[in-house]
Structure 1
């Protein structure tokens, strides 16, 4: 009987010691595992960044002419991961920042976008602080000065199969059918063309397409087409 009590006591002590050690070490193990997952995701995100983003944003996020750096501490402190995800997934209208999410007709799924976010976020610890961007009123209307417009017809050739319902609504709307005709009686059309045409150049006073086409909201499609078509 005493032997059984001794054995039970010994087992209780051993189990208690094991659980105590496990309880003390588990948070550290979980933290290490989480860090490894972040590192692995960022490494995969780096490859995606070089393929889909570096052409415009630069290999280190420093930007190109007319495109602000994203490798900056002040920028990364202002945008959380949710906002970064939405920017990558949906793009930014009228900036040349195209939508990369597969729900928007782009090449990246949810997992890949999260990996891309992880890579960009990994810059924050070492990113330099850069001068603040000008206010929206001081920014140029089009930030990609050298971007090429390709025309709505070219966009639709690929996207109609992916966004059929959206394109059908746009095709039937006044924006696509008669926005440009509404300004024909205006004496100074240059004040109206930026909103009633696509790809307006305020310096040359020229436009790329009559009416409100795809690129009026989504930005010039030249670089996007090159990226999607590959080398």
Structure 2
């Protein structure tokens, strides 16, 4: 299982932020209530995903048709059709997301803290593509960026493998594949499926967050 980067985690955070603004109805676990726009209760359609897998040659009885071979590694893609969130897998997906959110919250808190500091230093600061741009106090902004990035690295290291495993588990549950195949999914494919699911089914994010009372 290949590791995600800090930028990957920040991208996940951005997608979660977008999902929070969506008003598709979702179930609140703490109260049993349904929250959201009742006019958006139409049945969610099924989606298709293309996922790349990478194996060592020694792990495969034979090389699949259409696979790419580079040295001892074999890479191939599989197309998954008619994928949706249903009552059978909903709680399993929520469980996987629950283990991701504390990490997201830590990234979010660090980002907000540093953004607020930047605005205290220079109320006219421009925050663009992760950079603090100031016409009068750029040196201080550069130091703040360094502090923020160090904190991100600390959060990333503290998270260990738990958050990453939870993301793989989420995609594994969604696609209904076994552990061995799931462990060989390429990170970019895992993230693409996660992003697409958050976009297609934002209510699953909001449902999971109710467990924490967010």
TM over 0.5: no
TM value normalised by structure 2 = 0.21
Larger Rg: 1
TM value normalised by structure 1 = 0.20
Task: Give the structure with the larger strand fraction.
Answer: 2
